[in-house]
Structure 1
Amino acid sequence: MPYITEEYDVCVVGAGHAGCEAALACARLGMETILFTVSVESIALMPCNPNIGGSSKGHLVREIDALGGQMGINIDKTFIQSKMLNVSKGPAVHSLRAQADKARYSALMRATLENTDHLTIRQAEVTELIVEEGTVKGVKTFSGASYNSKAVILCTGTYLKARCLYGDVVNHTGPNGLQAAGYLSESLQKNGIELFRFKTGTPARIDRRSVDFSKMQEQKGDEQVVPFSFTTSPEEVQIDQVSCWLTYTNEETHEIIRDNLDRSPLYSGMIEGTGPRYCPSIEDKVVKFADKERHQVFIEPEGLYTNEMYVGGMSSSLPEDVQYRMYRSVTGLEHVKIVRNAYAIEYDCINPRQLFPSLEFKNIKGLFSGGQFNGSSGYEEAAAQGLVAGINGARFCMGKEPLILDRASSYIGVLIDDLVTKDNREPYRMMTSRAEYRLLLRQDNADLRLTPIGFQYGLISQERYDRVVEKQRLIEQEVERVHHVNLGAGAAVQKLLEKHGSTPLKTGTTLAELIRRPELSYEVLAELDEERPVLAADVVEQVNINIKYDGYIRRQLKQVKEFKRLEKKKLPENFDYNQIKSLRIEAKQKLNLYQPVNVGQASRISGVSPADISVLLVYLEQMYRRKEETDVISTGKV
């Protein structure tokens, strides 16, 4: 019987959060796309925490939406609680976080995929890459069928050679007991792709009916919900929300854990992979933070139509009997019933230094990858990479230049740049502290920063782009006007200042100068502004931020200008840095290993010093001068 051969533009392997965004981007850009999954029921699965967003992760979701991705739209329609985090701090670190109804989130994303033109879903395990002369040509499945394509995007998540562990129990499955992908790793290695072994984990799921909420602190959502997607009307997300609950571990909990560390595969040596530093298991917390008397535990609902609840903060790989004792030592969980055991999961992923910033492999043309397969952690990080890989996979098929987002443009740019330029020996997690230009890269202005790019690359409609252009015009117009509104030291002004605990005026000033005072704002001063126009809330927000933080914003813009200067200085492909004698040995080794695309990227590689960059700049200048002289001689033109 002959094998089946199918033809597509793009094959996407894996239908988690990265694969969904990659497949949707390709299909929406007109590419005939096939999306492979080991189980159709696992599309956009949330095998760990039942939420989207969070500190810095909320920025990523907003940016995905601004570029034309789906995650923000999906969570806006399926959330059951929403909160804006870090509101007591400055706007640079404000981040949305929403509890999802996990089943509804997955079902809605599946429906979106199923009803997208140019997109086919296929339940099959991909076992082999088809590569000819350094270019990917498609994939083969376990059945032996071939799917030829111009580009392949790998979004395998935590499924490659996955195994789940707790105590001495080892299940060779993917998350939630789903089928693992056992064969593709070998094909990747045969094609020269370096693999790592990473691990992550998840806490137990418990029965709501066995929880005593009266002993816990109720955690409610925001009274006024802010949507993730810039296309979602704020009125649509003002819903009745469910509560989460806060409790704590105690010394008894910690004693149970310490007494059984030798039975944890984390400490017995059974687990080979490296886990995420910023999302440790409860065993790690007890060992590494021995001085802490307690750790927070969040009890979070998994959906509206299930009694399963997530025990946030207590992921573990301890044996089943220890899990019962450990969880039941926590206040409010004394009689808890476990629905699903906590477990650790190990899986194969790549060393991301093998990728260009476009997320295309350096050694195989047309092969892209995104998500946890790239050595990151988290749904949001995965979706962001999937979107970029999808856009660039489609553009590869079209013969067009890839989309490269830099560190000054977005958190997505920071995420990808960190992955491809740094030595990541553990799952990478996005954090606001990683973004050096975070005052410019706020979650509230993601549409202004990235929607024009989404429009340029074909995922944003003309209507949506025009709305953003108009929004930008209104912001700039109002900021300019406010700088020219003069206020005297009259009674009305002094009364308002006194009301808000602000220092009285001795002489006249501008409205902008008053807005910059910490205790005042554009909204607070509205009654003193007789010519203030009626503006939408999102425009008002931007006007206030732009004026209040004007000095800081200008300073960061100046820093970005210098950053852009280095980013524009391109480096030759496949260059032998041993030719540059003045470079230190470590710098030569790292530059040869990473093959950075520009000087800016080279400057961020660990082991490459500022002195090395100076040497590199001098060498480039000499190289360009020699090239110009050669061109003059060959053409005879001066």
Structure 2
Amino acid sequence: MAFYEKTYDVIVVGAGHAGCEAALAPARMGCSVLLLAIDLDKLAAMPCSPSIGGMAKGQLVKEVDALGGEMAKITDQTAISYKVLNTKKGPAVHSSRTQNDKNRYHIAMKAVIERQPNLDLKQGLVERLVVEDGRVIGVEDQNGFGYQGKAVVLATGTFLSGRVHIGFRSIKAGRAGEFASYDLPAHLRELGFELGRMKTGTPPRLHRASIDFSQFEPQEPMPEPITPFSFFTKKITLPQVPSYMGHTNENSQKVVRDNLKYSALYGGVIKGVSARYCPSFEDKVVKFPERTRHHVILEPEGLDTDEIYASGLGNSLPPEVQLEFVRSVRGLELAEIMRPAYAIEYDYVNPVQLRPTLETKRVRGLFMAGQINGTSGYEEAGAQGMWAGINAACQVQGRPPFVLDRSQAYMGVMIDDLVTKGTREPYRMFTSRAEYRLMLREDNADLRLMEIGHGLGLISADTLKDLNDRKAQTDAEIRRIKKTVVKPTPAVNAYLEEKGTRPVSNGVHLDQLLKRAELDYGAVSTLAPPTEPVRARIARQVEIEVKYEGYIQRQQREINRFRNLERVRMPETFDYSRVAGLSNELREKLSAIRPASLGQASRIEGMTPSGISVLMVALKAAGAG
């Protein structure tokens, strides 16, 4: 095999959302990086919904941004609609979401990749890894040409043994119209990896001119001023456009129910496990037969195209049935399908075969990120890509591994879930998965992670200085508020009554007033304004920290208890088979997962408090921990 003249520090295979972040991070840390894509014209493609963020996903994007990643910046450059979800609930679950121009997103990310120093972008289909003495030293493409590297990140998306299904017709494809990779998953099995099979899908795209939008309810984007996704974005430049909401009906249900036998999903063609949280319409009909209507959301795919993404109409039915189904929806009676819906099956690697760094346990220097690890979503992929890319760079540079725990970041929750519990269905991030979500808010991702990003070389000194200045201003304003006493003057009580909250009869500290549900930081500005105006970001942070002070303190105590278990390290060579008092099942799980800490061991499925006590005794007896 002939090799390219250059030896890279990190080679990234796949240029989707995981691959782009996996390549940019080590390049910005000073590593030489090669990014290999099957098709350079599909780099950072949005094959499903042209959107970024959503519940818990928005938090992941903010965290990638705070560490020095690119996804949020590209999102702001290409967003054509902004929303913040869950605003009627507490700040712990507020999540940003954008609708994006999919073509602009691809072009903007490709430009960043092409211009990034230390990063080479090349087209190629990788078929094998080059492994010597249990360590990866390069990759081989479909032409038998090799590239040498000290670490490799596989970010292959849905391309491993990918097969697209429309009715009973199926083709080998990583996405509709794109090559799949069949030799690489076979090679991974040769190396001893356990692979499983998953299924996802995408709805039809409709022609704008064929839709009667008067039958749909406009969903207007967020009004000005828009809060950007990225902490670094100063201004939103693209025009903002609405999406449209409608509903299916009983006839829609009937069309699909009568044709289930022709569905790839229910006709016995598909064997992969479907995403529970993003069901196809066939799933909705079968699993929720009592519901006679479901949401349909029409989302523009960009400013310069007439393609409309029909969210909610995903299916794997034959084209003629798809047409009847789509036209059963009010307002879509004359709809023209530009691209049919389809289902796709693909291979993934059970993530319990990974370390918390996302390095594989079987092959040293080999990392995996994104849908190859059993996850779904651009945001989950981007966060894993950055995590794997940083750790690949740290390994090459001889630096300590990069691992965030569950109390530090949503991405820490996701990685811990994957490597500790594995997944047998497409994994999706939810706020409910994060037990410390009050501390892991969107608004404080920069406060949590920018200093870590600076230590990695991904965040500039000027940005860190601005962060520390904002922290100091926030702390100073909180101290001022706590020391300020508001007296029961007529003007004060008139303001409080106007805001719908009870008046005061005695002097009260301003922070106690701010804790009232009816009041926000505007009350501070009115009743006891600071000598210098407070920036909006700082005011928001002050308000949250004061209002939720008791809850934050309680959660911090929980985190301290959690970290006590995390500090007890489990030796990688620890022999669990010799630990008396554990069930055979737990011994097998512990031996397979090889938890890095007692905390991680406590989260293994089936572990009990008594089991943790047994492990602690065994560790002390062995002189470990």
Q: TM-score per shorter chain, which class?
A: over 0.9
Distance apart, 1:529 and its partner CA: 0.3
Inter-partner Cα distance in structure 2 for 1:520 and 1:527: 11
Return 501-510 or 30-39, whichever deviates more.
Answer: 501-510
Please state if 1:264 is matched with 2:274: no
Equivalent residues of 1:6, 1:146 under 8 A apart: no
Distance 1:3 1:560 in 2: 49
Number of the residue aligned with 1:120: 120
Q: How does 1:330-369 map to 2 (within 5 A)?
A: 330-369=329-368
Find runs of 4+ consecutive structure 1 residues off by over 2 angstroms: 1-6, 530-533, 621-625
Distance 2:223 2:4 in 1: 55
Which whole-Å CA distance do the structure 2 matches of 1:368 and 1:466 have between them? Answer: 33
C-alpha change, 1:94 and 1:330, in structure 2 (3 Å) is: same
How high is the TM-score relative to the length of structure 2?
A: 0.98
Is residue 2:141 matched to residue 1:144? no
Amino acid at match of 2:233: T
Q: CA deviation at 1:5?
A: 5.4
**Which has the higher mean CA deviation after the structures are superposed, 105-114 or 262-271?**
262-271
Task: Using the TM superposition, give the Cα deviation of residue 238 of structure 1 relative to its aligned residue in structure 2, in angstroms.
Answer: 6.3
Aligned-pair distance for 1:623? 2.6
Does the aligned pair in 1 maintain the 2:486–2:508 contact within 8 Å? yes
Aligned-pair distance for 1:574? 3.1
The residue correspondences of 1:202-217 to structure 2 (distance < 5 A) are: 202-217=202-217
1:173, CA displacement in angstroms? Answer: 1.1
Counterpart residue number, 1:453: 452
Distance 1:318 1:239 in 2: 36
Moved more, 438-447 or 519-528: 519-528
Looking at structure 2, the residues matched to 492 and 333 of structure 1 have their Cα atoms a distance apart, in angstroms, of 57
Tell me which amino acid in the other structure corresponds to 1:128.
Answer: R
**8 A contact 1:173–1:180 mirrored in 2:** yes
Residue of structure 1 equivalent to 2:542: 543
User: How many angstroms apart in 2 are the aligned matches of 1:523 and 1:530?
Assistant: 9
SS at match of 1:265: coil
- Give 1:566-605 correspondences, 5 Å limit: 566-605=565-604
Q: Deviations over 1:281-307 (max 9, x none)?
A: 011011111111210010000001110
Distance 2:524 2:405 in 1: 37
Structure 1 residues 64 and 428, CA gap change in structure 2 (3 angstroms): same
Q: Does 1:172 align with 2:172?
A: yes
Q: Is 1:526 matched with 2:535?
A: no
Contact 1:3/1:144 (8 A) holds in 2: no
8 Å contact from structure 1 (residues 586, 608) kept in 2: no
Indicate how the Cα distance of structure 1 residues 238 and 16 shifts in structure 2: closer, same or farther if over 3 A, else same. closer
- Supply the distance in 2 between the matched residues of 1:2 and 1:533 (Cα, whole angstroms): 66
User: Distance between the aligned counterparts of 1:186 and 1:26, measured in 2?
Assistant: 28
Between the aligned partners of 2:89 and 2:236, the Cα distance in structure 1 is 24
The aligned counterpart of 2:50 is 50
- The alpha carbon displacement at 1:415 in A equals 0.8
1:408 corresponding residue in structure 2: 407
8 Å contact kept, 1:590–1:608: no
1:227 maps to what in 2? 228
1:302-317 aligned at under 5 Å gives the runs 302-317=301-316
Superposition deviation, residue 527 in structure 1: 1.2
Match of 1:87 in 2: 87
1:267-324, Cα deviation, whole Å (9 max, x unpaired)? 1211011111101101101111111121001000000111000001121101111100
Separation of aligned partners in 2, 1:530 and 1:355: 53
Contact (CA 8 Å) 2:2, 2:146: kept in 1 or not? no
Secondary structure of the structure 1 residue equivalent to 2:367: strand
Cα pair distance change 1:210/1:530, threshold 3 Å: closer
Residue 248 of structure 1 pairs with residue 235 of structure 2: no
Task: Say whether the 8 Å CA contact 2:2–2:145 is kept in structure 1.
Answer: no
Equivalences for 1:17-166 in 2 at 5 Å? 17-166=17-166
Q: 2:622 aligns to what SS in structure 1?
A: helix
**Are 2:280 and 1:281 aligned?**
yes
Deviations 1:394-452 (A, max 9, x none): 11111111100110000010111111111411010000010000000000100000001
CA 542–4 in structure 1, closer or farther in 2 if over 3 Å, else same:
closer
Q: Secondary structure at the match of 1:82?
A: strand
Q: Which amino acid aligns with 1:505?
A: V
User: 1:296 maps to which residue?
Assistant: 295
Q: 1:389-408 residue pairs with structure 2 within 5 A? A: 389-408=388-407
Q: What is the Cα deviation at residue 21 of structure 1? A: 0.3
The AA in structure 2 aligned to 1:133 is: D
CA deviations on 1:179-227 (whole Å, 9 max, x unpaired) are: 1112101111111111111110000011000000001000110002110
Shift of 1:487: 1.0
- Structure 1 stretches lacking a partner, 5+ long: 628-638
User: For 2:47 and 2:540, how far apart are their aligned partners in 1?
Assistant: 36
C-alpha distance in structure 2 between counterparts of 1:82 and 1:183, whole Å: 41
Letter in 1 for 2:123: Q
For 1:232, give the aligned amino acid. Answer: T
On the 8 A contact 1:354/1:362 being kept in 2, the answer is yes
Counterpart code for 2:212: D
Inter-CA distance 223–576: structure 2 relative to 1 (3 Å threshold): same
- Structure 2: segments with no counterpart, 5+ residues: none
> Bigger CA drift: 524-533 or 5-14?
524-533
Contact 2:3–2:148 (CA under 8 A) maintained in structure 1:
no
RMSD (Å) for aligned C-alpha atoms? 1.3
SS of match in other structure, 2:443: helix
Per-residue deviation, residues 356-393 of structure 1 (Å, max 9, x unmatched): 11100112111001011110000000000000100011
For residues 110-153 of structure 1, the C-alpha deviation after alignment (integer angstroms, 9 at most, x for no partner) is 01000001111111100001111111111111111111110000
Equivalent pair of 2:301/2:307 in contact (CA under 8 Å): yes
Secondary structure (helix, strand or coil) at the match of 2:36 reads: strand
Structure 1 residue 3: deviation in Å? 6.0
Q: Is the 8 A contact 1:220 1:242 kept in 2?
A: yes
Deviation at 1:622, TM superposition (A): 2.9
Q: Which amino acid aligns with 1:345?
A: I
1:562-597: CA deviation from partner (whole Å, max 9, x where unpaired): 111111100010322111111222221211111100
Quote the Cα distance in structure 2 between the aligned partners of 1:135 and 1:125: 21
Measure, in 2, the Cα distance between the counterparts of 1:270 and 1:585.
37
Contact (CA 8 Å) 1:156, 1:372: kept in 2 or not?
A: yes
Distance 1:296 1:483 in 2: 47
1:166 Cα deviation after fit: 1.2
Measure the CA separation in 2 of the matches of 1:71 and 1:92: 22
| Matched position secondary structure for 1:206 | strand
Question: In the aligned structure 1, how far is the partner of 2:66 from the partner of 2:95?
Answer: 15
Per-residue CA deviations over 1:54-92 (Å, capped at 9, x if unaligned) read 111110110000000000000100111111111111111
Deviation at 1:525, TM superposition (A): 3.5
Describe the shift of the 1:253–1:275 C-alpha distance in structure 2 as closer, same or farther (beyond 3 A): same
Task: Quickly say closer, same or farther: Cα 1:239–1:136, change in 2 above 3 A.
Answer: closer
* Contact map agreement 2:160 2:346 (CA 8 A) in 1: yes
The one-letter code sitting in structure 2 at the alignment partner of 1:413 is G
Matched residue, 2:187:
187
Contact 1:596 1:602 survives alignment (8 Å): yes
In the superposition, relative to structure 1, how do residues 394 and 423 fare at CA in structure 2: closer, same or farther (>3 Å)?
A: closer
1: CA distance, partners of 2:149 / 2:319:
46
**Contact 1:5–1:145 at 8 Å: present in 2 too?**
no
CA–CA distance in structure 2, aligned partners of residues 411 and 2 of structure 1? 43
Question: Is 2:2–2:144's contact at 8 Å kept on the other side of the alignment?
Answer: no
User: What SS does the aligned partner of 2:405 have?
Assistant: coil
Alignment partners' CA distance in 1, 2:619 and 2:105: 51
TM-score by length of 1: 0.96
Q: What is the deviation of 1:533?
A: 3.2
Alpha-carbon contact 2:566-2:600 (below 8 Å) kept: yes
- What is the number of residues matched between the two proteins? 624
Shift of 1:618: 2.0
